[in-house]
Amino acid sequence: MSEPVILLEHVVKRYGGFTAVDDLSFAVAPGEIYGFLGPNGAGKTTTLRMMLDIINPTSGRIVILGSDSAIPVRRRIGYLPEERGLYKKMKAVDSIAYFSQLRGMGRSAARKRAMALLEEFGLAEFARSKCEALSKGMAQKVQLLSTIAHEPELLILDEPFSGLDPINQQTLEALIRNQRAAGRTIIFSTHVMQHAERLCDRFLIMAHGQKRFEGTMSEARASFAQRLHVRTTAPMEALTALGGVAGIRVEDKSGAETTYEIELEDGADPQAFLERAVAAGVMLTRFEQAGATLHDIFVSLAGDDEEATADARPAMKEAAE
C-alpha cells in the first residue's frame, strides 16, 4: 500500500469511565472507497470527529493526509456530518460558497463553483432561494455540494445516505463513484449494507468501540462460514455424515425431495463436500453455494452489540455518537 491517506494507530477515546473507541487501528489507501460500518453507539462518529481533530483522542496516533493533525490539512478534506444543517436565511448558492470559502477557496471562485454544482445537480433555479424554502431532499443536496465544492482530496461522509429517498441515494452513489474516479479517497459510515456492498473497496466493522473486521468483501466472505442449499431425497443424517457440517436445517419439503440449508464448518471447502456426496451416492438435484452477504457478516459481527448499546447510559451513548 502506498502511504495511507488516513492512519489510525491504537486510538482510544474515553469519556470518564466510558470507552467510546477502544484501541482502534486501520489505514485507508489513496483512491479507496472505505466503508465504516457499525451499529448505533459503535464509536463511528467519534472516530470520524477524532480524524478531523474536532475532538482529541485520549491516546493513540492519527495521521491524516500526512499530517499529525487535521487542522493544517482541513482545506484538503470535505466532511459531511451525520446531523447536518444549513443557515435558514442564507441562499443556497451562498451556503455552498461560504463553506467553500471557509475551506480556503477565493470568494468569486467559490461562487462560480457553487453555481456550477447547483446547475449540475438540477438545482440552478433554487440557487437564490433561502435554505428554509428548500425541500428536505434539496437541502441535503446543498449540504453535500457544500462538502465537495472545494474539491477535496479526501471525503469523509458520516451516514450520507440517511434520510435520502431512493432516487437521491442513487445520485449519491453515482457522486461517490465519480469522486473516486477523479482520484479522491472516500470514507463513509453507513447502516445500509447494500450501499457499502456496492461501493466499498474495503470496509471496517466496529462494535462497542472496537474493530471487529477490516478488509474486502471477499476476505469477509472467506472468513465467514460457508452456506449451501441442497435438494435431495436423502435424509438429514446422510448429509451430516458427509462431514464438515456445522449445522443443517430444512428449508422446504415438497414431494419426496427436501431442500436443506447447510452451514459448513470454518475452513470447510464446498467443492470437497460435493465430491464426498457424489462418492457416498447421495443424489443431489440442487447444489447452490450461498455466499454470505455483508448484512449476514454485519449482523454476525456486530449484532450482539445492539442490545449492549441500548443498555448503555444515555450520556455515554451521546458522547460516543
C-alpha cell at 76: 484538503
For residue 299, state whether it binds another protein (rule: CB under 8 A): no
Q: Which of 49, 91, 195, 202 binds another protein (CB under 8 A)?
A: 49
Q: Which of residues 169-198 bind another protein (CB under 8 A)?
A: none
Q: Which of residues 85-114 bind another protein (CB under 8 A)?
A: 85-89, 98-99, 101-103
For residue 71, state whether it binds another protein (rule: CB under 8 A): yes
Asked if residues 9 and 57 have their Cβ atoms less than 8 Å apart, the reply is: no
CB 17 to another protein: min, Å: 13
Alpha carbons 206 and 317: distance in angstroms, whole number: 15
For residue 162, state whether it binds another protein (rule: CB under 8 A): no
CB 25 to another protein: min, Å: 19
Q: Which of 19, 47, 140, 146 binds another protein (CB under 8 A)?
A: 146
Strand partners, 37: 190, 205
CB 298 to another protein: min, Å: 25
For strand 77-80 and strand 59-64, is the pairing parallel, antiparallel, or unpaired? unpaired
Q: Which stretch binds another protein (CB under 8 A): 52-60, 194-202, 207-215, 259-267?
A: 52-60
Residues interacting with another protein, by CB under 8 A? 15, 49, 52, 54-56, 58, 71, 74, 77, 79-81, 83-89, 98-99, 101-103, 143, 146, 318-319, 321
